[in-house]
């Protein structure tokens, strides 16, 4: 990836990791001036947030708190991996599901 694109999109890529509010801010700012690096991390963050919502609403409720806590911890580790990748300026896919996030949300 071009170094200039990474430098321009790095701040919004990091902001996209700051919960739903940061994701929305990065999404709307990126809509005005599309940056591939920012879009990459918006897709990763959106996927992680959706799975976290599923975890809170379904896994905790129907499977149990232990399973929900384990999945929550795994998602937290994935979030850290993604955030570190954004800070370093690297396109770091979330393990196991990051490629799917890029495919599912390719229009973002």
What is the extent of the structural domain holding 24?
A: 3-104
* Residue 56 DSSP one-character state: I
pLDDT digits (tens, 9 = 90+) for 34-69: 999 999 999 999 999 999 999 999 998 999 999 999
pLDDT at 29 > cutoff 80 = yes
**Number of residues that make up the chain:** 108
Residue 27 CA to residue 23 CA, distance in Å, equals: 6
Helix (H, G, I), strand (E, B) or coil at 90: coil
Domains contained in the chain, number:
1
Q: Write out pLDDT tens, residues 75-84.
A: 999 999 999 9
Burial (Cβ within 10 Å: 0-12, 13-18, ≥19) of residue 53: exposed
pLDDT at residue 1 tops 60: no
């Amino acid at each position: 990836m071009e170094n200039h694109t990474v430098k321009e999109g790095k701040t919004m890529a990091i902001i996209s990791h700051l919960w739903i509010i940061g994701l929305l801010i990065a999404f709307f700012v990126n809509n005005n001036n599309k940056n591939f690096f920012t879009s990459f991390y918006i897709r990763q963050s959106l996927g992680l947030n959706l799975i976290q919502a599923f975890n809170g609403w379904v896994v905790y409720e129907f499977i149990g708190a232990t399973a929900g806590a384990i999945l929550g911890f795994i998602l937290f580790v994935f979030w850290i991996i993604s955030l570190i990748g954004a800070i370093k300026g690297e396109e770091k896919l979330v393990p196991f599901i990051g490629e799917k996030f890029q495919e599912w949300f390719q229009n973002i």
